[in-house]
Amino acid sequence: MAAIVAVRSGRSVGAAQLVRWRFTLEEGRARRRPAFSRMASSPAPASAAAPPFGRLLTSFPRLFSEPVAYFTSLADEFGDCVRLKFGRSDLYLIHDCAMIRDLLVNEGASLEKFPRVQPELGLFGEGLLTSEEPVHMRQRRLMQPAFHQGRIEAYGRTMVECAAELAAEWRPGAPVDLAAEMNRLTLEIICRTMFGGSAREISAEVAHHLEIILPMLNSLVAPWGRLKLSLPLPAVRRYFAALRGLDRILYRLIEQRRAEGADRGDLLGMLLAARDEGREGMTDRELRDEVMTIFVAGHETTANGLAWTWYLLDRHPDIRLALERELDGVLGGRPPGPADYPNLAYTQAVVKEAMRLYPPVWILGRRALREVELGGQRFPARTVFIVCLYALHRRPALYPRAGEFLPERWLTSNAPPNRFAYLPFGAGSRLCIGERFAWMEAVMVLAALAREFRARVDPGAAVEPLGLLTLRPRYGVPARLVRRVADAG
């Protein structure tokens, strides 16, 4: 059983007040929702202890400026289960595999996602990422066929096609920001896999709207986000205008496709054709919410995973050479295809190891709807649990040489040391529905680009993690491209 350490926040700290304010908002909303159990809740586990107050006071502002480093340092210092006390609410930072298993799998039905994305944002609606039961389970069943293996292979061809078009644009010696390039590429991929033939006409317009919406999202889900939403700021007006623009495109496409009645083999066609045990398919509103969810959940994550991979390959030339050897050997100078996926074991290991060190979704949050039991300990309703995947994936007790980039660790055994020690895609009923899509995409894109190009990251560049909705490189990955010839040393 994990040792539990309690961390109590100070009353007069500005940042602490912000957090408390958010918790109060959340609690206010929770009180209006009947889902929370009214049953008497058990006290917090007795083994809780408090670290020095002064230590917390000085470190607390880092929760806002460097949340990834903040959570990681708490885990390093206080262990696998740390208790943070905010006013009346308890928050536990957990990195104990048995507790995580109970949190995500065994007790999954007794918890909701935390924080909840405010409906006022008008973005995801009742989409898969944010909906709760029973809506979530129905939508998940409807959407599952769109992500079956056969479909993924078809999407894989589109992924390679998009990567080849990007490679044709890249100029050796030219400066690029690889983070921005990977974002551009994965957005094009999601547009084409989603809309098939129609994507060419609309992808620039969709990209334009998303470029306004996505940066705002990061600040709107922050504690002061609601306040910002209600202010007559130009940025907020632009956000809602872009959202309306995107909605118009999506509803128009949905209407056209319904009228055509044909499944063109793209994601939208699959979602339109989805039926639930003889019942009607999705309404226009449900379709719109799911398409929007997939746009947002399905491109920046993979883009960040790839950006970190390029960065790590530049820092480890021996690993980059081994990757290139595999690409030359398997592909023999031709572009990759989905059928090559099983033969690109080292490429897969490189991506897997990059996502261990820099998990694109770096944090999972849940809140108890009723009393729950994790790792044999009881926690009352309303307790909030955070798993910092960045910290979990670097726990020395779970991974030998945890801080090092060693793709080889996945070659001897593809399985993590514990099923709940490697969770870039989460687990349980909320496991990422796009996991297979993402693996295919990351491996195909890396193979298609790395067989032709190397990236030399600017020597003076500060490439460090920034924990927003996803884990992105704070200042991008500025680099210069070098064209490689097969077998170059």
With CB atoms as reference, the residue minimizing the distance to ligand HEM is 434
Nearer to ligand HEM, 366 or 382 (CB): 366
Nearer to ligand HEM, 128 or 421 (CB): 128
Among 9, 183, 203, 293, binds ligand HEM (CB under 6 A): 293
416 belongs to the binding site for ligand HEM (CB under 6 A) = no
116 belongs to the binding site for ligand HEM (CB under 6 A) = no
Nearer to ligand HEM, 154 or 174 (CB): 154
Nearer to ligand HEM, 297 or 421 (CB): 297
- Size of interface with ligand HEM, in residues (CB under 6 A): 23
9 belongs to the binding site for ligand HEM (CB under 6 A) = no
Among 8, 62, 113, 228, binds ligand HEM (CB under 6 A): 113
> Binding pattern to ligand HEM, positions 328-367, x when CB under 6 A?
--------------------------------xx--x---
3-state secondary structure the chain: CCCEEEEECCCCCHHHHHHHHHHHHHHHHHHHCCCCCCCCCCCCCCCCCCCCHHHHHHHCCHHHHCHHHHHHHHHHHHCCEEEEEECCEEEEEECCHHHHHHHHHHCHHHEEECCCCCHHHCCCCCCCCCCCCCHHHHHHHHHHHHHCHHHHHHHHHHHHHHHHHHHHHCCCCCEEEHHHHHHHHHHHHHHHHHHHHHHHHHHHHHHHHHHHHHHHHHHHCCCCHHHHHHCCCHHHHHHHHHHHHHHHHHHHHHHHHHHHCCCCCCHHHHHHHCCECCECCCCHHHHHHHHHHHHHHCCHHHHHHHHHHHHHHHHCHHHHHHHHHHHHHHHCCCCCCHHHHHHCHHHHHHHHHHHHHCCCCCEEEEEECCCEEECCEEECCCCEEEEEHHHHCCCCCCCCCCCCCCCCHHHHCCCCCCCCCCCCCCCHHHCCCCHHHHHHHHHHHHHHHHCCEEEEECCCCCCCEEECCCEEECCCCEEEEEECCCCCC
> Binding pattern to ligand HEM, positions 437-456, x when CB under 6 A?
xx------------------
* Contact stretch for ligand HEM (CB under 6 A) within 26-34, 298-306, 315-323, 477-485: 298-306
For the CB of residue 149, give the shortest distance to ligand HEM in the complex, in Å. Answer: 14
For the CB of residue 364, give the shortest distance to ligand HEM in the complex, in Å. Answer: 5
Q: Peptide bond preceding 119: is omega within 30 degrees of 0, i.e. cis?
A: no
* Contact stretch for ligand HEM (CB under 6 A) within 167-175, 222-230, 422-430, 449-457: 422-430
465 belongs to the binding site for ligand HEM (CB under 6 A) = no
Nearer to ligand HEM, 44 or 214 (CB): 214
140 belongs to the binding site for ligand HEM (CB under 6 A) = yes
426 belongs to the binding site for ligand HEM (CB under 6 A) = yes
Among 30, 128, 384, 471, binds ligand HEM (CB under 6 A): 128
For the CB of residue 465, give the shortest distance to ligand HEM in the complex, in Å. Answer: 14
- Which of 282, 337, 408 has the alpha carbon at shortest distance from 160? 337
For the CB of residue 267, give the shortest distance to ligand HEM in the complex, in Å. Answer: 7
473 belongs to the binding site for ligand HEM (CB under 6 A) = no
Nearer to ligand HEM, 293 or 348 (CB): 293
Binding site for ligand HEM (CB under 6 A): 113, 128-129, 140, 293-294, 297-298, 301-302, 305, 360-361, 364, 424-426, 430, 432-434, 437-438
